[in-house]
Structure 1
């Protein structure tokens, strides 16, 4: 109990303290609640749409059964009259087949109508007329078989058979008309339910994307605050070791917090996006069902379909689903980028002796074919060795060389030079020089910001490459700066300590 009370007090203090984490958790909670509401609304609308589709199918079955009854009655009457006129048994076979099938079709129609108060009296009237008509047909056929043709003809001329057929035709036509009206109304209800479902999901997707955008903006703002703290730390006097130690500890805690927040955003926002994608697929399937239903109706009863309904199902719904898919795909790429940044920031650094000339040459060889195709070259001069984290160094140089190849100047062959030397201050200095497009002076700092890009945007990317490079350089205790003019190429300056000191291992290296 004490632990529970202590946890509750801690949680209460957390909620009362205005922090970035509280804002993100509130946004995530809102997104989850919104998703639950959308799930409930979508479930209800799908159930309602299914019910509408079932009633539409039922109405079609009733209409089909009514038409089958009328068709068989006509066949029976045709066979009867043909037998009376010609006395040929093949006409009687047509009559007998129709009479044999009529009870089953009537039973099917009776089962479909069930307890329908509007149609039951009409069906009862049809059944009563049917039995009387069958008795009259049987009587005329029996008279014809015994050679009493005159009496049979007299029965037909009395007009009773025609009256019975006309009355049954009226009742069956009335049943068909009632079901046609119901079919049109239920089709409209189904289309409205589909439109509401699409609208609710599109609105929910838009709101989730807005919440995700706000979260990304909060993370970006926090990253900018940390970058400002970095710059302030760089201006601190190197001789004030205690102050440097304190500020480094604060920066480390801030970095860990932003990495945790980035992980929360990227991990927890993925679940709502996956659900939106899943429901988008369901909406596509529902749209296909409606399209098939409309196609069927267009063939049987084109007058019952409104042009607006066809346009809504075949144009508006696919367009809305496409918008949702494009938006969620873009958000998913941003979340993946944040997750990559968070994971790399939490990875433990492992110092080792690095032969920088061979390491950078292998990176250059990996893009050799692209450079050769553009008629260019990459020159790797002899570089001073370094003791640092291999994976981080490979990613830093790989990103910078890849950028130099990607953003080459279209009017001249690529030329990239990697060079460096050891300094007298215990640091090594590397330079990556290219003759590419260059960067405007006002964008020298902008290109290192998260999700920010400069110049012509004709290459794929999310604006994370150089932000990741600067973050990695700083984790290794180094600095990165840029010298560049637009159209004149760029030079990236990298400075690292000769030996990387990992926190907790400093005593082992003194």
Structure 2
């Protein structure tokens, strides 16, 4: 509130000072203008008198050198009379007086010019006689009277402006004094406000420091808790997978026993020559020859799938537990190694792979990066659109503390609703016409996050898919920063 009041007061002070200062400047300008006009009036009078002096010198001596000051002065009289005419009106000189002055000056110049022409023609007596008539003297006296009147008006005008300037200056002093007092009050209020605010800020800072100390403890506890939970989760996944494998092995054993039992039944039916035309024999034969082998086939397929899923869970658990080893890696070389590993499938599907130059170097875990790139390339090859030639483009760049690797294909694409769910464990999208268990992309996301980044996807059905992997450029430094 005090700041708003202070701003309003300052604004009023500035406006008042500006107005008074402008008035003072105007009065000063007007006083100077009046003085300058008086000087020009005196210059005009001096020019008229100079012209008269030159005229008399020439009339007395007949020497041409007196004509030069006469000519210069008469020219000045003419130009100056024309120039100051409009200015005299601003002093309050009536237009009639201005016209009269111009007329008298014109007559005086004509009188002087006439005497000079007579002297030049050799009739000096006529020139002197013209001077003795007193007409020139009367005209000059009239010029002086008019000039005196004009100067008096100019002096009065200048005096009025000077008086107004003094008054305005006095008011400006008052405004400055009042402004100084108000500014002093505002400064005192501002100092108090700053002091109070500083005290509040210091108290808030102390509270924030205590909160930060508490927050750091909470973050440390939470981090330790998350690490324990992660370790427990990985251990749990390992134990569950191990415990699931034991009954699975038993099921596989009993399946073999059932298969052997079915072979015994089959051999028995052959020896006893069962008759398929008899309903009981037919049922037994169908059970031994068809139903039992088909059921055993389903059991074996389910066991293989379950075994594969258990293996994938174990792989992810081991990957989460494995200590990452950072080393210098050229991504261009790593991508080339992955392409060489998949060369048979690439050639078989007729896929064109374009690897851009300038892939960045990173300090990261080689095994994890190989799994990430291999999974992305495998998916790109697996889900190509058979209606067009497969194309995979790989490029990368540096973005601050992260390196970006992009894998783009022109495959079948992913529906918008599935573009985030494909990273969930055991989740697949689209037509299930390709082998897979929905673990690969979940593994890719888990690994990229351990490498200090993440993986994102952009896709359009029927056009293709782009995976963008971001990892820390320097994994060792990232870990140090996390521990700091």
CA contact (8 A) 1:379 1:418 kept: yes
Matched, 1:458 2:430: no
1:296 Cα deviation from its structure 2 partner:
2.3
Q: Is the 8 A contact 2:413 2:463 kept in 1?
A: yes
* One of 376, 380, 390 as aligned partner of 2:366: 390
- State the match for 1:506 in structure 2: 480
Whether the 8 Å CA contact 1:436–1:490 is kept in 2: the answer is yes
Q: Given the alignment, which residue of 240, 243, 249 partners 1:265?
A: 240
Q: Report the CA distance between 1:303 and its aligned residue.
A: 9.2
**8 Å contact from structure 1 (residues 297, 305) kept in 2:** no
The partner residue of 1:486 within 457, 461, 464 is: 461
Task: Name the residue aligned to 1:157.
Answer: none
Aligned length in residues: 268
Q: Supply the distance in 1 between the matched residues of 2:272 and 2:241 (Cα, whole angstroms).
A: 46
Taking structure 1 as the reference length, the TM-score comes to 0.48
Could you say what secondary structure the match of 1:269 adopts? Answer: helix
Q: Give the CA deviation at 1:450.
A: 0.3
CA 1:263–1:397: 2 relative to 1, 3 Å? same
Looking at structure 2, the residues matched to 303 and 420 of structure 1 have their Cα atoms a distance apart, in angstroms, of 73
Q: Could you tell me whether the CA contact under 8 Å between 1:451 and 1:464 is conserved in 2? A: yes
Q: Give the Cα separation in 2 of the matches to 1:406 and 1:314.
A: 37
Q: Match of 1:406?
A: 382
2:77 corresponds in structure 1 to none
- Give the whole-Å Cα distance in 2 for the aligned partners of 1:297 and 1:343: 55
> What's the offset of the Cα at 1:305?
7.1
What are structure 1's unaligned runs of at least 5 residues? 1-239
5+ long unaligned stretches in structure 2: 1-214
Contact (CA 8 Å) 1:349, 1:502: kept in 2 or not?
A: no
Task: Name 2:260's counterpart in structure 1.
Answer: 285
Secondary structure, aligned partner of 1:501? helix
| Correspondence for 2:352 | 377
Distance 2:245 2:325 in 1: 31
What's the CA shift for 1:445?
0.5
**Is this contact kept in 1: 2:458–2:466, CA < 8 A?**
yes
Superposition RMSD in Å: 3.0
Q: How does 1:18-33 map to 2 (within 5 A)?
A: none
Q: Provide the TM-score with structure 2 as the length reference.
A: 0.50
Q: Deviations over 1:88-116 (max 9, x none)?
A: xxxxxxxxxxxxxxxxxxxxxxxxxxxxx
Equivalent of residue 352 in structure 1, options 311, 327, 344: 327
Provide the rounded CA distance (Å) in 2 between the counterparts of 1:405 and 1:413. Answer: 11
Select the residue among 280, 289, 301 that pairs with 1:326. 301
Q: Is the 8 A contact 1:399 1:466 kept in 2?
A: yes
Instruction: Judge conservation of contact 2:383–2:412 (CA < 8 Å) in 1.
Output: yes
Counterparts of 1:481 and 1:420 in 2: how far apart (Å)?
14
Instruction: Give the direction of change, closer, same or farther, for the CA distance of 1:244–1:502 in structure 2 (3 Å limit).
Output: farther
